[in-house]
Amino acid sequence: MKNTMLIVLALLCFSVSYAGGYRIALQGQKQLAMGHTGVAVINSSELVFFNPSGLTFLNEKFTVSVGANLVFANISFQNQNYGWHTEDKNSAATPFNVYAAYKINEWVSVGLGIYTPYGSGVEYPKDWEGSHLINDISLASIFVQPTVAFKINDIVSIGGGPIFATGNVNFNRNIDRTTTDVNGNRTNVTIDKTGITAWGYNLGLTVKPTEKLTIGVNYRSKIQMDAKDGEADFQNVPEGGNLQGQFDQVTFDASLPLPAELTVGASYAINEKWLVAFDYNRVYWNAYEDLDVEFSNGQSSINPRNYKNSSTYRFGLQYNATPRLVLRGGYYFDESPVQSGYFAPETPRNDSNNFTGGFSFKLSDRFTIDASFLYIHFDEVEESYDHYQENGQNISFGGLYKNNGFVPGLGITYGF
Amino acid sequence: MKKYLYTILALGLSFGCQPEFNDPINEVGFYTSGEADFSNYVAVGNSLTAGYADNALYIEGQLNSFPSMLADKFSLAGGGDFNQPLVADNLGGLLANGQQIQGNRLVLEVTASSQNPAPIEGTPTTDIANHLEGTFNNMGIPGAKSYHLMANTYGNIGNLPAANPYFIRIASSNEATVIGDAVAQDPTFFTLWIGNNDILGFATSGGIGEDQTGNLDPSTYGNSDITDPNVFANIYNELLKALTANGAKGAVANIPDVTAIPYFTTVPYNAIPLDEATAAMLNQAYAPYNTGLQQAAFLGAISPEEATERTINFTVGQNPVVLLDEDLTDLTSINEGLTNMRQATNQDLIPLPVSSVLGTLADPSDPNSVIGVGVPLNDDQLLTASEIQLVVTAQTAYNTAIKALADQYDIAFVDIQSLMNTLAQGGVSFDGGTITNTFGTGGAFSLDGVHPTQRGYAVVANNFIRAINSKYNSDLPLVNPGSYPTIFVK
């Protein structure tokens, strides 16, 4: 069993892309299997993420959940006018999470969460038709969240904790559609910065008006990731364009918001066997107005994004089939924050329908295996990014995009 | 447990499948070839077909030759592989048994104070003695005139310099002809764009060659001569007969105006800026010549009109260059000083390379030897109005023949003449602006001023595609000119 987890952990590479924008909603196997509901589901230490206040309602004295997902996210692109067709290079990625909760007494619980709620990993064939917008990107973030929860009375509990976020960015694109060195090698720039850090917080409220009904509210703050003095590596710059060495040893500053998210939801235990849950997420994506990269040589690259706030509607079911086996299923509708005309190929995603399933199997009194599966369905969409400029002129790049995603996940829960 | 993990992994791998479009464009049947069959496309022509640019044939140019762009779109509608005789490097120069016989490509050399086209440094590695085996879909031979395509000495290295180094590299035998090697590939579709050099050699040499109209034996032509239009039409007919013998469909393109290329439109006829004092001094210097002309007119040796045409006069501002015109009446028997001088008019064209000598001193120790002012331009340094007329007459006849033969053989016709005139008069718009024939910045023409840039070739390719779609009811997509580079900065 330990070996298995080691293998899974060895596959971790922290960078994935899926769901609206660069949000990765994969914060726990049990809740993912239920459509990633969980703000009002008292199941496990996954509550550290979903709603810290719920920890006080857990039965276990101590519980730990560890899990990881394998993300296979794929993008197909075609443009009928020019006969272009391109597929991204499918690289699997493995977001992970670790949650622990400890009940100090009836009224106070503490917890710790380590999870990866934002990231993106897309790689197109080098010099593809949209290479002036992106060749490849890898965004990764890890959140570490110590947590405390207080039960105010038998009905109401509050909880929260600070979030320490650390992140990396690596982004490569060609500087325009045509510039090359004399041998035809496209001039491109890679911006790279590791170890970006920032702080935020996570707050929650749980209300249990009856034994069967649970209501939850959770708010996770915006976290602004500021990359300072990152490396900007320009390649294949023509000598004649670099007379003053203005493209040598360049650094950059850039800023990327990890937007705030508000969740409200409820769960209802129909009977001993059945539990239903509903969550509504609002992600405040309007924080992402543009990707503004300022280079140390005085140049800048301003890329309007103009994201809009988006909602996700989640529905989950849990069925206690036997004392050892719990089955879960769910569905959610995920609104894309990307507006028409801002469809940049780094996150070319429209609204998606998401189907989830999974189970927990009790190996022993203390160990449980949690498995989940997510299938993300996107309709194909005719869209473009219209805000790239050459010589002061907006040049549209677009076509038909289609995405899909397959995300199996596996975790283990230990508790007593 | 292990088993379970493997199952998950196996599932995961199978989920790496790419989303499928409802109508994938790369699936057979999305684009149709209509009545054409693109499965084996062979392109026949000259440098324009080869992908020549910046005064050389180099790999990057070949990869984006217009036939290569066409083949890329054909591949969406049943087209097969398109094999090109790539040279060995991006320097573009040629060697013959180690000796350099063709210069390197031009690149823009940028310094803090200047931007000038100059040959890129380096020793080329393409030796024409290294014969390429196999067949090539791109049979564009830089320098070829119409009749060269049927000449069985054109690929024989022993026949240099009359033979063609580019054909020598790929000719199937010493006796091979370009058209023979093309037809031997049994093409199902062809493009033929030939005839540009039948007038261009004359034009770029400043009209020093002969107009061979009336001479039906091309083996007696020099490189700077104008090909007889009847010879041209006969050859063109033979070429099309050979290319269509197996029922192949194809497209032909006509010959653009030489006056539409930056090689002739960049240097203005009135390139000499003068202040008042200098103008007066020069007028004084030319006074004896002007007086001599009046005397010659008085004597009846020339007409009063010719005397006026030849009178040299400078004023403040931009002044026409002084040139020698062989078509003027020779007066040197009357007076040695009365050479065939006149000032240029806006009907005369000054070739691009002259810009590097115009205004410099022919004799560095003589301040009065400014080329184009004190020292007239030579006949090979300009194309006069009467020389242009010879070119236009031949070109008009060629284009009439090309159109008539395209109709006769019922193949697609591409009006590149109109396209090039559009580039010269307003330009062709694309998603990043407008492409014009302006030298250096216009985007259509490479640094040699004669051959298109890759973006220019993209515009050419689009005109071929439109003509092919229209003729054969195919629906090939266009190329995006904005995706192709223009001039290269070193």
A91 or A136: whose pLDDT is higher? A136
The answer as to whether A406 is a domain residue is no
B364 contacts chain A (CB < 8 A): no
pLDDT of A2 above 70: no
- Taking the CA of residue B12 and the nearest CA in chain A, the distance in Å comes to 7
Residue window 69-108, chain B: list those with CB within 8 Å of chain A. 72-73, 76, 90, 107-108
The tokens for B295 are: 């005397």
Read off the pLDDT of each residue in A303-308 and give the average, rounded to a whole number. 94
Decide if B112 touches A, using CB distance below 8 A: yes
Q: Is the pLDDT of residue B60 over 70?
A: yes
SS3 track for B264-324: HHCECCCCEEECHHHHHHHHHHHHHHHHHHHHHHHCCCCCHHHHHHHCCCCCCEEECCEEE
- pLDDT score recorded for residue A347: 87
Residue A243 forms contact with B (CB below 8 Å): yes
| Whether the complex's predicted ipTM surpasses the cut of 0.85 | yes
Q: Residue range B330-334: average pLDDT?
A: 91
Euclidean distance between CA atoms A141 and A22, whole angstroms: 10
A180–B contact, CB cutoff 8 A = yes
CB contact under 8 A, A408 and B11: yes
- At the topology level, CATH places domain B41-264+385-483 in Rossmann fold (3.40.50)
Which residue in chain A has the smallest CA separation from B10?
A408
Q: How many helices (H) and strands (E) does chain B have?
A: 14, 16
**Which range among A5-9, B119-123, B275-279 shows the weakest confidence by mean pLDDT?**
A5-9
Tokens of A378: 């996107």
pLDDT for the residue A16: 37
Q: Are B108 and A183 in contact (CB < 8 Å)? A: no
- Which residue, among A307, A305, A283, has the nearest Cα to A293 in the 3D structure? A305
* CA angle centred on B72, ends B66 and B73, rounded to 5°: 95
pLDDT at position A5: 37
How close A279 comes to chain B (CA, Å)?
28
Query: Which chain A residues have a beta carbon less than 8 Å from that of B489?
Result: 182, 238-241
Is A63:A46 a contact under the CB 8 Å cutoff? no
A137, amino acid identity: I
In a domain, A228, yes or no: yes
Q: Compute the nearest-CA separation of B108 from chain A (Å).
A: 8
Two tokens at B417? Answer: 């003449």
Interface test with B, best of A9, A178, A236, A382 (most B CBs within 10 A): A178
pLDDT at A18 over 90: no
**Percent of chain A scoring above 90 in pLDDT:** 87
Chain A residues lying within 8 Å of B55, measured CB to CB: none
Q: Which residue of A has its CA nearest to B431?
A: A395
Instruction: With a cut of 80, say whether residue A322 has pLDDT above it.
Output: yes
Residues of chain B found within 8 Å of residue A90, distances taken between Cβ atoms? 16, 18
Give contacts of B107 with chain A, Cβ < 8 Å.
182
Contact list, A408 vs chain B (CB under 8 Å): 8, 11-12, 15
Mean pLDDT, all residues of chain B: 94
Nearest to A403 among B19, B115, B489 (CB): B19
In a domain, A96, yes or no: yes
By residue count, chain B amounts to 490
The reply to whether B120 touches chain A by the CB within 8 Å rule is yes
B161 cis-preceded (ω within 30 degrees of 0): yes
Say whether B27 sits in a helix, a strand or coil. Answer: coil
Structure confidence by residue, pLDDT tens digits, B416-451:
999 999 999 999 999 999 999 999 999 999 999 999
* CB B38 within 8 Å of CB B70: no
Contact B459, B449 (CB under 8 A): no
**CB-CB under 8 Å, A380 with B5:** no
Average pLDDT over residues B88-117: 94
Contact A182 B5 (CB under 8 A): no
Least confident of A331-340, A396-405, B2-11, B204-213: B2-11
Cβ separation B476–A83 shorter than 8 A? yes
Nearest CB to A72; choose among B16, B107, B111: B16
Predicted local confidence at residue A13, as pLDDT: 29
Which of B5, B8, B11, B15 should be substituted to probe chain A, the one whose Cβ sees the most A Cβ atoms within 10 Å?
B15
Which residue, B461, B351, B373, B476, is CA-closest to B416?
B461
Decide if A123 touches B, using CB distance below 8 A: no
* A residues 25-64 lying closer than 8 A (beta carbon) to B: none
Q: Residue B28: count other Cβ atoms within 10 Å of its Cβ.
A: 10
Distance (Å) from the alpha carbon of A235 to chain B's nearest alpha carbon: 14
Q: Is B202 a residue whose pLDDT tops 90?
A: yes
Q: Which of A294-308, A333-347, B5-19, B328-342 has the lowest mean pLDDT?
A: B5-19
Domain residues for A356? 2-399
Question: At residue A1, does pLDDT exceed 60?
Answer: no
Give pLDDT tens digits for A27-54.
999 999 999 999 999 999 999 999 999 9
Closest Cα in chain B to A128: B483
| Residue A221 reports pLDDT greater than 60 | yes
Residue A400: how many CA atoms within 13 Å on its side-chain side? Answer: 18
Query: Which amino acid, residue A397?
Result: F
- Which pairs from B147-151 meet CB under 8 Å and 24+ separation? B147/B218, B147/B221, B147/B227, B147/B231, B147/B232, B147/B235, B148/B178, B149/B44, B149/B177, B149/B178, B149/B179, B149/B194, B149/B235, B149/B239, B150/B177, B150/B178, B150/B179, B150/B235, B150/B238, B150/B239, B151/B177, B151/B219
DSSP three-state, residue B368 = coil
Residue numbers in B near A85 (CB within 8 A): 24-26
Among the ranges given (A152-156, B111-115, B406-410), the one the predictor scored with the smallest mean pLDDT: B111-115
| pLDDT tens digit sequence for B7-36 | 555 554 444 578 999 999 988 899 999 999
- pTM of the predicted model as reported, rounded to 2 decimal places: 0.92
| Residues of chain B contacting residue A396, judged by C-beta atoms under 8 Å apart | 431
Is A386's Cβ below 8 Å from some Cβ in B? no
Residues in chain B with CB shorter than 8 Å from the CB of A8 are 5
Residue B80: per-residue pLDDT? 96
* pLDDT surpassing 70 at residue B406: yes
User: Cβ contact (<8 Å) for A74 and B16?
Assistant: yes
Q: Whose CA is closest to A179, among A171, A188, A170?
A: A188
* Chain B nearest CA to A221, separation (Å): 33
Number of A/B CB contacts below 8 angstroms equals 130
To the nearest whole Å, the CA of B96 is away from the closest chain A CA by 23
Q: What is the mean pLDDT of residues B331-345?
A: 92
**Is A92's pLDDT higher than 90?**
no
Whether A379 has its CB under 8 Å from any CB of chain B: the answer is no
The whole-number average pLDDT for the span A381-403 is 94
Q: What's residue A120's pLDDT?
A: 85
A10 vs B: CB within 8 A = no
Name which of A130, A138, A115, A128 is nearest A47 in CA terms: A115
The domain spans of chain B are: 41-264+385-483, 272-343+349-381
Quote the CA–CA distance of A51 and A44 in Å, as a whole number: 11
What pLDDT was estimated at residue A9? 32
Q: Closest CB to B24: pick one of A78, A82, A90.
A: A78
pLDDT-based confidence at B288, cuts 50/70/90?
Answer: very high
Output the pLDDT for position A348.
Answer: 87
B6: confidence class by pLDDT, cuts 50, 70, 90:
low
With cut-offs at 50, 70 and 90, classify the pLDDT of residue B2: low
**Which residues on B lie below 8 Å from A378 (Cβ)?**
19
Find the closest chain B residue to A380 by CA distance.
B21
Looking at beta carbons, which pairs linking B338-345 to residues 24 or more positions away fall under 8 Å? B338/B289, B338/B292, B338/B293, B338/B296, B339/B376, B341/B289, B341/B310, B341/B312, B341/B376, B342/B309, B342/B310, B342/B312, B343/B312, B343/B313, B343/B319, B344/B269, B344/B270, B344/B320, B344/B377, B344/B382, B345/B269, B345/B320, B345/B385
Q: What average pLDDT does range B165-183 have in this prediction?
A: 97
- pLDDT at position A4 is 40
Q: What is the CATH number of the domain that holds A240?
A: 2.40.160.60
Note whether B122 contacts A: Cβ–Cβ < 8 A.
no
State the Cα–Cα distance between residues B102 and B120, nearest whole angstrom: 13
Mean pLDDT (chain A, rounded) = 92
In this prediction, residues A402-416 reach a mean pLDDT of 94
Which residues 252-291 of A are in CB contact (within 8 Å) with B?
A: none
Number of domains, chain A: 1
pLDDT of residue A23: 86
Mutate to test the interface with B, among A11, A16, A91, A183 (most CBs of B within 10 A): A183
The answer to whether the CB atoms of B5 and A7 lie below 8 A apart is: yes
Of A83, A239, A396, the CB nearest to B25: A83
Q: Which residue has the higher pLDDT, A69 or A3?
A: A69
Nearest CB neighbour to A4, from listed B2, B63, B477: B2
Using a CB-CB cut-off of 8 Å, the residues of chain B touching A78 are: 21, 24-26
Is A387 part of a structural domain of the chain? Answer: yes
Query: What are the chain B neighbours of A75 within 8 Å (beta carbons)?
Result: 19
Task: Tell me what the mean pLDDT of segment B321-327 comes to.
Answer: 93
pLDDT band at A244; cut points 50, 70, 90: confident
Q: How confident is the model at residue B167 (pLDDT cuts 50, 70, 90)?
A: very high
Average pLDDT score over residue span B97-108:
96
